[in-house]
Structures are given as C-alpha cells and as structure tokens.
C-alpha cells in the first residue's frame, strides 16, 4: 500500500503534509498582501498565465505543461471585485481544509451569494477565478482537489483485483473496500481521490470506454483471469477518473491499457486526454495525465485482422476533420509516427469500428479471443 499524494516526480507525501502545504500557501499569499497594505503599497497577486502561449508539450514528461509566464493582479478600481473574490475563495479553501470539508464548483459559486458586493453573478466568474487559484497552486504541486474544490462528476466504476483504502469521513476509522467482492456491481470512485490508498497484485489497469463492455468483462470475471483492474471511463474520462487511474498506476507501479472504440473521437478525445491531458488546462496535467497509458485497441489494423469490416460504420465529416487535425496540429500524435500511420490507415479505410463490434463473433469473443491475443502481442499496442 502507498499513501496519498504520490506523483511521478515527487516522493510520496501524506494527506496531512499536503494539507499543511495548502494552508501554508494560502497563509503566505495573505501575509504578503497584508504586508503590502501595511507598507502603504498597492497589494498584488502573481498568477500563472493560462493562455496557450504559455503552454509547452514537454516530450520527456509526456504532457502539455504550463510555462513560467506570470500575470500580476494588482488591486485597483477595476480589479477590486476580482481581487476580493480571489481572496475570499482562498479563505473558503483554507476553512474547508481545516474542517475536512469540500465544495463543488457550483457550491463555491453559491456560497458567494452571502459576500455582499463581491458576490459572483455567474458561475463563469467563479470558475475563472478558481482556475487562476488552481494554476497558482499547481506551481506548488497542489491540485484543485487539495484546495477542496471538487468537480461535480464522480469517477468511473471500478472492479477487480484491488483493495481501496479509505477512511470513514466521520470517525477517521480505516476502511478497506475489496473491489473483487462487489458482485455484478462495482466501486464508484468519489469526486476526490487524493486521500485514497491502494493494495493490489494486479498486472495492469484496463481502462474501458463503454459501460456495456465494462459490465461484460466484470460479469465474466475477466479481471480474475487476466489479473487486472477494470475501470469504466464512460466516454471521455472525468477528472476524478483520470486522477484515480493516475494515482493507482503510480502507486502500484503498473501500466494502463486503453480499450476504446476505433474512431478519431476514441483516439483524440478519450485516449489522448487520459494520456497527455489537454493544452487548454495545462496547469492540471501534472496531476491528471497518465503518461504510462498505452492504446490496446481497437486499432485500425484490428478491423482487418479480426474481420470486422461488415460491422463498421462510415467515418462522418466530423470524424475526418478530427483525424486530420490530430495528425496535423496535435503535438502528441505528430510526435508518434505509428499514430500517424494508424490514423492515415483509418482515413483510407473510411470506416470506424466500436469495441462492441467484436460481438459479431459471439458475445464473449472479446474475452475468449480478442483480449488474450492482444495481451500476448503488446507490440500491436499504439503508443
């Protein structure tokens, strides 16, 4: 078992240490502002620039990373509201860390309704300021979840050879959740996973696009034969799903194999988001991307090798545009010749195939033939 907070480029730290670092960060910003005021200066906060101009694709790290550019928010007539809002959101964060509570982004917007003139009028306002604070905290290795602002969406469902170690939020008693013992059901990952520990002897994590395929592999106990952990992504994985997979993969030191539909959305939206994150939210990628993810399938070559041609669908205009964009404009795909070749192969075939198309050969062909054969031929995985 490994405790919370281990990231690939830092030593494991405990939830308590992370909480102390969070409180320390907020206090130091507040102290600097107070000092400015006491010295008769206009107070200011330095925040990372979040525009794409300040984002680089860090090949060695394997993700889009925030650059070093900073913007300065100085107190003025024009900024007085956003300045006050930034401080109040940080104060709310401090209080939640101290009381072991949390707020969703929506709740964070609503609590401002009691802030008098610095209340938020729209959630877009509170989200923008929260993004600023999140980007600032990210420079100190702290995620938004550490600040106790949680996303609305929970993580995916999980089943297999894994014990999740949590604590009762009320009594602090240690709880062990055996994900091999949930029958046809599964473990639903909470909105923040920073505090979870893991114990497993699984060989890999299988991240699955569709719920139907997850249910099939779970009902037939595929995870037992293959010694793996099943995670249902349900389309593009949520923050909580991504962070869960990342922390589990780091903690257990096991790879992540992605099993998604063979279409440009599966490649460029689902797989790429999981593996390298996105340029638009570069400040979060250090916590959320999963550089160890590999693409098991369905690959364009699989359509040929598993004779799925008559269970495909024609590529739509959107599919074609997305595929061309990926090859041309996306530094992740552009840096991998095997991905370029695979996407070009798909474009020349003009069709897409869903993972459930394997049912053409029988409902459990995927379990009895496809997955075992793919797992023995890892060279067929895409990077």
Choice from 39, 184, 329, 348 touching its own copies (CB under 8 A): 184
Choice from 215, 273, 285, 286 touching its own copies (CB under 8 A): 215
Q: Is 257 a catalytic residue?
A: no
Candidates 110, 271, 295, 365; catalytic one? 110
Choice from 6, 73, 81, 191 touching its own copies (CB under 8 A): 191
When the beta carbons of 211 and 291 are compared against its own copies, the nearer one is: 211
Tokens representing 334 are 């552009």
Interface map 109-148 toward its own copies (x if CB under 8 A):
-xx-xx----------------------------------
Q: What is the DSSP string of 214-275?
A: HHHHHHTTHHHHHTEEEEE--SSPPHHHHHHHHHHHHHHT--EEEE--BSHHIIIIIIHHHH
Contacts to its own copies from residues 241-260, by CB under 8 A: none
Contacts to its own copies from residues 225-244, by CB under 8 A: 232
Helical ranges in 257-352 per DSSP H: 264-265, 272-276, 282-288, 300-305, 317-329, 331-334, 337-349
CA distances from 284 to 118, 124, 185, 279 (A): 27, 18, 31, 10
In angstroms, the CA 151 to CA 154 distance is 8
Choice from 7, 107, 368, 369 touching its own copies (CB under 8 A): 107
Indicate the pairing of strand 256-259 with strand 293-297: parallel
Other Cβ atoms closer than 10 A to 213: 23
With binding defined as CB under 8 A, does residue 2 bind its own copies? no
In angstroms, the CA 183 to CA 145 distance is 30
Verify cis geometry, omega within 30 degrees of 0, for the bond prior to 318.
Answer: no
* Span near its own copies by CB under 8 A; candidates 66-74, 281-289, 356-364, 373-381: 356-364
When the beta carbons of 120 and 257 are compared against its own copies, the nearer one is: 120
Choice from 3, 141, 190, 383 touching its own copies (CB under 8 A): 190
Q: Would you say 153 and 238 are in contact if contact means Cβ atoms under 8 Å apart?
A: yes
The least CB distance from residue 284 to its own copies, in Å, is: 19
Contacts to its own copies from residues 25-84, by CB under 8 A: none
Would you name the residues annotated as active-site residues? 110
Residues near its own copies (CB under 8 A)? 96, 101-104, 106-107, 110-111, 113-114, 150, 152-154, 157, 164, 166-170, 175, 177, 181-192, 195-196, 210-212, 214-216, 218-221, 224, 232, 310-311, 354, 356-364
């Amino acid at each position: 078992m490994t405790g919370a907070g281990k990231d690939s480029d830092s030593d494991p730290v405990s939830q308590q240490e992370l909480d102390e670092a969070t409180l320390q960060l907020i206090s130091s910003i507040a102290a600097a502002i107070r000092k400015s005021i006491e010295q008769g200066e206009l107070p200011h906060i330095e925040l990372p620039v979040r525009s794409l101009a300040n984002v680089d694709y860090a090949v060695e790290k394997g993700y889009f990373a925030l650059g070093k550019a900073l913007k300065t928010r100085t107190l003025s007539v024009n900024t007085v509201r956003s300045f006050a809002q930034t401080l109040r959101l940080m104060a709310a964060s401090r209080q939640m860390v101290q009381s072991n509570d949390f707020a969703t982004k929506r709740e964070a917007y609503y609590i401002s309704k009691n802030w008098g003139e610095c209340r938020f009028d729209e959630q877009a306002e509170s989200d923008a300021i929260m993004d600023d604070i999140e980007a600032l905290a990210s420079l100190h290795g702290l995620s938004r979840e550490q600040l106790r602002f949680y996303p609305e969406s929970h993580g995916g469902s999980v089943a297999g050879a894994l014990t999740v170690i949590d604590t009762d939020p009320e009594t602090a008693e240690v709880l062990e959740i055996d994900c091999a013992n949930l029958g046809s059901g599964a473990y639903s990952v909470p909105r923040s996973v920073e505090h979870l520990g893991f114990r497993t002897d699984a060989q890999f994590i299988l991240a699955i696009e569709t719920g139907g395929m997850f249910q099939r592999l779970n009902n037939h106990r595929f995870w037992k034969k293959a010694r793996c952990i099943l995670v249902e992504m349900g389309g593009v994985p949520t923050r909580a799903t991504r962070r869960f997979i990342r922390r589990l993969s780091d903690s257990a030191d096991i790879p992540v194999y992605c099993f998604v539909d063979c279409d440009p959305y599966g490649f460029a939206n689902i797989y790429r988001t999981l593996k390298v994150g996105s340029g638009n939210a570069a400040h979060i990628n250090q916590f959320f991307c999963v550089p160890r993810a590999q693409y098991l399938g369905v690959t364009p070559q699989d359509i040929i090798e598993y004779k799925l041609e008559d269970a495909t669908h024609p590529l739509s205009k959107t599919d074609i545009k997305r595929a061309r964009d990926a090859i041309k404009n996306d530094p992740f795909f552009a840096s991998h010749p095997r991905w370029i070749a695979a996407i070009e192969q798909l474009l020349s075939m003009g069709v897409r195939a869903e993972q459930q198309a394997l049912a053409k050969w029988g409902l459990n062909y995927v379990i009895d033939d496809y997955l075992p054969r793919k797992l023995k031929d890892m060279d067929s995985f895409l990077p």
